[in-house]
Amino acid sequence: MSQASRALAHAFETGALAPKRAFFLRAEDPPFADITCEQSFRSDFLKLKQATPRIEGGSWPLGLVLLTKHKEENFANIARGWDLLETAGTLVCAGSNDDGGASLEKQVRKAFGLDDTLSKFHCRVFWFTKGDKEPPEYWRGMIGLQPVGDSSWLSKPGIFSWDRIDDGSALLAQHLPDDLAGAVADFGCGWGYLARQMLQPAVTRLDLIDAEHLALDAARANLTDSRASFHWLDLTREAAPAAYDAIVCNPPFHTGRASTPAFYMVANRGLPYEPLLKANFTAFETLADNNKFRVSRAIR
C-alpha cells in the first residue's frame, strides 16, 4: 500500500470522511467495503480482490482518486471522477507531496473550491462537493486519446512517454532488422510506436503486450493491421501467449522509485558481451552458466 493510500484510509479511520457507496480510480487496497475499484495497471489490478480496468458509467455519492506523478492523468481522472458523481456527491483525492499532491490541491481548490483537507504520511488528502463548477476544459480534454508526434499517432496521459516518441524507442526503431518474419512480439508496447515498425511483410503475427491497459487502448487505435493482437499482461508474473521468432522490448524503468533498473540477457557464453556490459552498466553478475549459455544481469 502506498503512502497516499494509507493517508486516504486515515481520513476514513479518523472520521474526517464517512464511508458511502463509492468508486475508486487508480485503486489500491480499498479503505472500506462497497467500493467499485478501477485499476488499469496490471500488477496492481492483480492485487485487488475485485476490480475493473475501466469504469464506464454510473452515479455515485462518493468518489476516490489516488493521484499519480503524471499531472495530466490526474487532471483527467478528476474530470472523470466529477462526471461519475451524483449531484452533491463528494470527490476525495489523495497524493504524495513528492508527486505534486500539494500543488494539485491548490489547482483543485481554484477550480472547484474545497470542503476540507488533511496531511498525513507526507501526503495530501483533499475533497470537494460536486456543484455547479465543471472541470476545466483542459482537464476534460485529457480524458481521451490525443494526437502525438507527427499527429499520425494517438496516446493519452497515464502511458509512459504519452506525449512524445521517447528517445530509446526512436533509436531502437532505427536499428530494427529488416528481415523480421513469423511470430513477433513487442514486450511493453506502450502506445505502439515500435510495434508499427515491426509490421514487415514476412511477419505473420504481432503480439503487443503491456501491463498498462491505457497503453493498449492507444495501441489499438494506432495499429489496425489484422496481424496485430493485444494482451494485457504483467510479464513478470504471467506468461506470454506464444513463443516468438523475434521480440522487441523497450521496457519503461519508471514505475516506482524503489525499483532498481536491470537488464537481463542470455547469450552464447563464447560471445564477447562482457566488455559491453562493463562499458554501459555500473555492475553486472552471472546468474547462470551451463557451459553453453550464460545468463547475466546488469544494473544501470
What are the residue boundaries of the structural domains of the chain, listed by start? 3-141, 165-259, 260-300
Give the residue carrying C-alpha cell 486515515.
10
Radius of gyration of the chain (CA): 22
The per-residue pLDDT for range 15-73, each reduced to its tens digit, is: 999 999 999 999 999 999 999 999 999 999 999 989 999 999 999 999 999 999 999 99
The DSSP symbol for 78 reads H
Backbone angles phi, psi at 121, to 5 degrees: 55, 40
Report which of residues 295 and 131 the model is more confident about. Answer: 131
Q: What is the pLDDT of residue 251?
A: 67
pLDDT average, residue stretch 127-149: 96
The owner of cell 502506445 is 191
In this prediction, residue 254 carries a pLDDT of 44
What is the grid cell recorded at 137? 476544459
* pTM for this predicted structure: 0.85
Is the pLDDT at 299 greater than 90, yes or no?
A: no
Residue range 152-166, pLDDT digits in tens: 999 999 999 999 998
Domains 3-141 and 165-259 share a fold: yes
* Range 3-141 has CATH code 3.40.50.150: yes
Topology, domain 165-259: Rossmann fold (3.40.50)
pLDDT at 107 over 80: yes
pLDDT for 242 beyond 90: yes
Share of residues in the chain with pLDDT > 70 (%): 92
